[in-house]
């Protein structure tokens, strides 16, 4: 299987927003996510961002930071780039927010704006519009503990020639006491820009590929989880 270069990394975690070329350390844990504002993400006024619920803001911001890190945030024509993210809880926080508009009035005043964000993929659509991305976009609910399901599928998609570039990552927000007992281990959003190694001019943050058993490898070394993967990328000696 041909490897893929990590061309950029962006995230929003409990420590706030960040991107690969500005960071040496990374940790995604179960801590609360600070608010993400439009100014953190888009320098110009943005009609959509302020209306989005937190899940969509975190996801869209992480995609934006990853593209900025890869130097791909500016565009003129649409691009064959797909997006895939793994999640444990999807957009539960938005579901709760929306359903609260259904409950009090007996179904009389459900919010159409919130409902349109009650699919975990909706922020992928926002990202596709903002950045002109026309590849496949989907969310994978992966019960695995490593939070690498999205990265794994993106690597497969690239090797199968489904598109030129994939944004791959993970997103989860804590549902809190509204749905007790559901605590995702990785809270926040993280995306990596992956390009086929044979098409990429830069070393980026190293090369990813899949082992025969489906494990994600960074420069040939099998990775156990999301934090380990990002740290390996940030520590990559030839990063460019």
Partner 1 sequence: MAERRARLNEVLITATAAVTGLGPDLDTTWRRLLAGETAIRPIRRFDAGRYPARNASWIEGLESRGNRSLLFPLLERLLDGFDPLPPGCRLVTATTKGCIDTFERVRKGLSGDVADIPVSGPLAWLASRLGLNDPGVNINSACASSTIAVARAAAMIESGRADAVLVVCMDLVSEFVFSGFSSLQALDPAGCRPFDRNRNGLSLGEGGAALLMMSAKTARRKGIPGIGSVVGWGAANDATHVTAPARDGCGLIQAVRRAMAKASIGPDDIAAINAHGTGTVYNDAMESTAFEAVFGARPIPLNSIKGAIGHTLGAAGGIEVAVDMRSLADRTLPPTAGFGEPMEKCVFSVRPFPQRIGGIHLLSTNSGFGGINAALILKGNPG
Q: Which stretch binds partner 1 (CB under 8 A): 38-46, 106-114, 221-229, 231-239?
A: 106-114
Rounded Cα distance between 20 and 7, Å, is 9
Of 13, 93, 94, 121, which one interacts with partner 1 (CB under 8 A)?
A: 121
Contact status, residue 126 vs residue 72, Cβ threshold 8 Å = no
Angle at 195 between CA 192 and CA 199, to 5 degrees: 160
Count of residues of this chain found to bind partner 1 when the rule CB under 8 A is applied? 56
Q: How far is the CB of 47 from partner 1 (least distance, A)?
A: 12
Instruction: Tell me the two tokens of residue 7.
Output: 């061309």
Of 23, 119, 234, 235, which one interacts with partner 1 (CB under 8 A)?
A: 119
SS3 78: coil
The nearer residue to partner 1, 16 or 132, going by C-beta atoms, is 132
Rounded Cα distance between 223 and 25, Å, is 17
* Among 16, 161, 188, CA closest to 86: 188
Q: Which stretch binds partner 1 (CB under 8 A): 19-27, 132-140, 193-201, 231-239?
A: 132-140
Under the binding rule (CB under 8 A), the answer on residue 99 touching partner 1 is yes
* Among 179, 171, 55, CA closest to 116: 55
Judged by CB under 8 A, the chain residues 168 through 207 that form the site for partner 1 are 178-182
How many CB atoms lie under 10 A from the CB of residue 9?
28
- For binding to partner 1 (CB under 8 A), which residues are involved? 78, 82, 88-90, 92, 95-96, 98-100, 102-103, 106-108, 110-112, 115-116, 118-122, 124-126, 128-129, 132-144, 149, 153, 156, 159-160, 162, 178-182, 214
């Amino acid at each position: 299987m041909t490897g893929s270069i990590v061309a950029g990394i962006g995230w929003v975690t409990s420590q706030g927003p960040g991107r690969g070329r500005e960071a040496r350390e990374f940790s995604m844990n179960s801590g609360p996510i600070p608010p993400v504002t439009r100014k953190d993400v888009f320098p110009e006024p943005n009609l959509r961002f302020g209306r989005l619920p937190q899940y969509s803001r975190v996801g869209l911001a992480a995609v934006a930071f990853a593209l900025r890190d890869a130097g791909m945030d500016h565009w003129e024509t649409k691009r064959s780039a797909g997006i895939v993210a793994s999640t444990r809880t999807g957009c539960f926080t938005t579901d709760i927010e929306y359903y609260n508009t259904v409950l009090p009035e007996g179904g009389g005043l459900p919010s159409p704006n919130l409902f349109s964000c009650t699919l975990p993929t909706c922020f992928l659509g926002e990202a596709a519009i903002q950045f002109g991305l026309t590849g496949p976009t989907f969310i994978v609910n992966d019960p695995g503990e490593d939070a690498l399901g999205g990265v794994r599928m993106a690597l497969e998609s690239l090797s199968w020639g489904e598109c030129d570039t994939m944004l791959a990552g993970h997103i989860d927000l804590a549902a809190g006491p509204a749905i007790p007992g559901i605590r995702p281990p990785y809270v926040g959003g993280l995306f990596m820009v992956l390009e086929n190694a044979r098409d990429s001019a830069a070393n980026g943050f190293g090369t990813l590929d899949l082992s025969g058993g489906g494990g994600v490898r960074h420069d040939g070394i099998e990775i156990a989880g999301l934090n380990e993967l990002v740290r390996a990328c940030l520590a990559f000696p030839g990063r460019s």
